[in-house]
Amino acid sequence: MKPLNPKPSTDLSKDFHAVWHPCTQMKDHETVPPLLIERGEGVYLYDRDGNQYLDVISSWWVNLFGHNHPRLNSALKAQLDKVAHVMFAGITHQPAIDLATRLVELSPDNLKKVFFSDNGSTAVEVAVKMSLQYWRQTGHRNKTKFAYLKGGYHGETLGALSLCGIEMFRDNFEEVLLSNLEVEGPDCYRCPYGLKPDTCQAECFEPMQKTLKEHRDSLAGVIIEPLVQGAAGMKMYPPVYLKKLESACQRQNVHTIYDEIAVGFGRTGSLFVCGECELSPTFLCLSKGITSGYLPLAATLMEDEIYSAFYDDFATMKLFIHSHSYSANPLACAVANESLAMLTENDFLDTLKPKIQALEAGGKRLVELKWVGDFRQTGMIAAVELVKDKGTKEAFPFEDRVGYKIYQEGLKRGVLMRPLGNVIYFVPPLVISIAEIKMMMDTASECIRAVLD
């Protein structure tokens, strides 16, 4: 075994020997060991040597209120002294009842029930299985496929992966994935229609329109990340696309599954995109920010129409048979209730407005750099796309690992970024200050120049 470099510490050698990290070429750790994080406080993480890192990516898009938050800690400890976990079949508990009630109140009016699971992928699997079983139980046995967008990301378990439009994730598993329909979607930076997102009418909806029309008899649903395709590189598109999707799906009798796992809970500046844009999806999938990054939890909300199709005498066998051991974990629900209270009290979402403006101001400075082809932003989510040539929008080849080099430059400067290919994105905890936003974007600018100039 090759030694770790630079100087291996005992703990990091043990990590190298025993741990396989997600979405990581482990060989990279021969030269760049993982950060050993010891504690967190607010928007900062601290390694064992006391070095501070600004958590620009909210620990994989989950953290809303910063690390080690006193209110979230107390909510968790209070529940811990009562019960840590119970099964959720035949048993219920107050944290889950409160959370489901609040989620139904705060989401669009048509969503009436909440099914809990424990991570984003499972929230998607639940929606997909419910949709399939719904159609089967209502006499549409042929409706067994889903349409998803190119660049769409909905998780990596096999069912969820079958709805992903990103080759890198799919390639090794293509043979066993379910056969769904990939549809060309919005691409606002390189719009093939030559239009601008603030003035267009989502002309790019055409391929989806066509798919819905042609495959209406076999389509169970369409799954979509509303407004921001996260894993695709924070690709953003205007709400008019969603409006068109909603009316087309209603016309063609196809479910809409909104995956707000990344964008939900305030990231876009509003609680949920569907609420903000006055849309009524058949299903809404939530996770990530639901516990502000404390514990794994997910929720799938659905229309009454779906719920009612399963509600019958036991002997009809219309029940939904799907269960996860940690469904509606009480600790997670207790933290989620506290986090949701914090999100919805004292006009918290209004406090984001000046921060959203600060992000925009920072983006405008970044886009002046020679290498920044595009700056895009939806609320508290912002991204810049690096290009070889602004005129042609030519991308850097993936082997150059531009993003990875920028990540390393960021660490040297106390900023934890995790670029997606050539896209550097900013998804900080919502409690980040305006001064920290400025520092974050100025540092990103320095890192880009350090790697590319």
Residues that bind ligand PLP in the complex, under the rule CB under 6 A: 119-121, 124, 153-155, 225, 230, 259, 261-262, 287-288
Question: With contact defined as beta carbons under 8 Å apart, do 380 and 355 qualify?
Answer: yes
Q: Which residue is nearest to ligand PLP (CB)?
A: 120
Q: At what angle do helices 330-344 and 94-106 cross, to 10 degrees?
A: 40
CA torsion sign, 162 to 165 to 168 to 174? Answer: positive
* Smallest gap from residue 120 Cβ to ligand PLP (A): 2
Q: Which CB atom, from 146 or from 153, has the smaller least distance to ligand PLP? A: 153
Closest C-alpha among 431, 428, 401, 433 to residue 416 = 428
Residues sharing a CB contact under 8 Å with residue 167, sequence separation 6 or more, in sequence order: none
Q: Which CB atom, from 124 or from 432, has the smaller least distance to ligand PLP? A: 124
Question: With contact defined as beta carbons under 8 Å apart, do 242 and 260 qualify?
Answer: no
Residues sharing a CB contact under 8 Å with residue 430, sequence separation 6 or more, in sequence order: 64, 65, 266, 267, 348, 352, 355, 380
Name the residue type at position 315: A
Q: Which CB atom, from 225 or from 436, has the smaller least distance to ligand PLP? A: 225
* Smallest gap from residue 182 Cβ to ligand PLP (A): 16
Q: Which CB atom, from 111 or from 124, has the smaller least distance to ligand PLP? A: 124
Name the residue type at position 118: D
Q: Which CB atom, from 103 or from 231, has the smaller least distance to ligand PLP? A: 231
Give me the residues paired with residue 423 across strands: 385, 420
Q: At what angle do helices 353-366 and 434-452 cross, to 10 degrees?
A: 20
* Smallest gap from residue 296 Cβ to ligand PLP (A): 7
- Cα gap 165→380, rounded to integer Å: 24
Q: Which CB atom, from 162 or from 287, has the smaller least distance to ligand PLP? A: 287
Q: Which residue has the tokens 């929230």?
A: 123
* Smallest gap from residue 241 Cβ to ligand PLP (A): 16
Q: Which CB atom, from 79 or from 287, has the smaller least distance to ligand PLP? A: 287
* Smallest gap from residue 235 Cβ to ligand PLP (A): 12
Q: Exposed, middle or buried, 384 (CB in 10 Å: 0-12/13-18/19+)?
A: buried
Q: Which CB atom, from 149 or from 262, has the smaller least distance to ligand PLP? A: 262
* Smallest gap from residue 50 Cβ to ligand PLP (A): 30
* Smallest gap from residue 262 Cβ to ligand PLP (A): 3
* Smallest gap from residue 394 Cβ to ligand PLP (A): 28
Alpha helices by DSSP H, 314-433: 330-344, 353-366, 402-412
Q: Which CB atom, from 154 or from 362, has the smaller least distance to ligand PLP? A: 154
Q: Which CB atom, from 155 or from 379, has the smaller least distance to ligand PLP? A: 155
- Cα gap 296→291, rounded to integer Å: 7
* Smallest gap from residue 125 Cβ to ligand PLP (A): 9
3-state secondary structure at position 188: coil
- Cα gap 352→380, rounded to integer Å: 8
- Cα gap 243→186, rounded to integer Å: 14
* Smallest gap from residue 266 Cβ to ligand PLP (A): 15
Cα 332 off chain centre by: 18
